[in-house]
Structure 1
């Protein structure tokens, strides 16, 4: 349970960093782009979106902690499905529609 709480804390910390528009070097794929490609993206909006997703992922992880505290496997499965749904949404949203291009 302590490991899960540390994971939630890590995700919340990353969410705070991203919501401030910082930490774009932590976004996989974006940090490997050449500088001229990075200029085509609105890094502040990208970071803010990632911050919101970090908060959503940490919220879904709370169900994992609650499932262990109350010994209810259903909460764990609900949190896991929510976690995976957020990741699928994030991948589809970020890779369609050129939403973060300037």
Structure 2
């Protein structure tokens, strides 16, 4: 029983930073925390709509934290199927985010175009 509680606390402690990042990003802030974007030159950063990018990443953070809730539930109810559902969701969300950000210039600043 104690092992279950410890594991649930560990998973929940991984969910909490994602929720906090989601709150920061959804408010259009924290662009320096986005990998790849923070290494761009200031001139290159001006080409992108940072608020739209941050809001998108905020939604992704919330989706990832939601998928991790299935992991907590799988421990609580001892159902491996819930873990698999959460893992498939997690991987699917990550793939979706990578493809969405890197295709079709979705986050290019439309004012400069």
Give yes or no for TM over 0.5.
yes
- How many angstroms apart in 1 are the aligned matches of 2:31 and 2:9? 28
**Map of 1:10 onto structure 2:** 17
The CA deviation at 1:5 is 0.5
Alignment of 1:51-70 (within 5 A): 51-70=58-77
Normalising by the residue count of structure 1, what TM-score does the alignment of the two structures yield? Answer: 0.99
**Map of 1:94 onto structure 2:** 101
Normalising by the residue count of structure 2, what TM-score does the alignment of the two structures yield? Answer: 0.89
Q: Which runs of 4+ in 1 moved over 3 A?
A: none
Unaligned runs of 5+ in 2: 1-7
Instruction: Select the structure of larger CA radius of gyration.
Output: 2
- How many angstroms apart in 2 are the aligned matches of 1:83 and 1:22? 24
Secondary structure of the 2:35 match is coil
CA RMSD in angstroms comes to 0.4
Equivalent of 2:36, from 16, 29, 44?
A: 29
> What number of residue pairs does the alignment pair up?
102
The CA deviation at 1:7 is 1.0
**Map of 1:50 onto structure 2:** 57
Unaligned runs of 5+ in 1: none
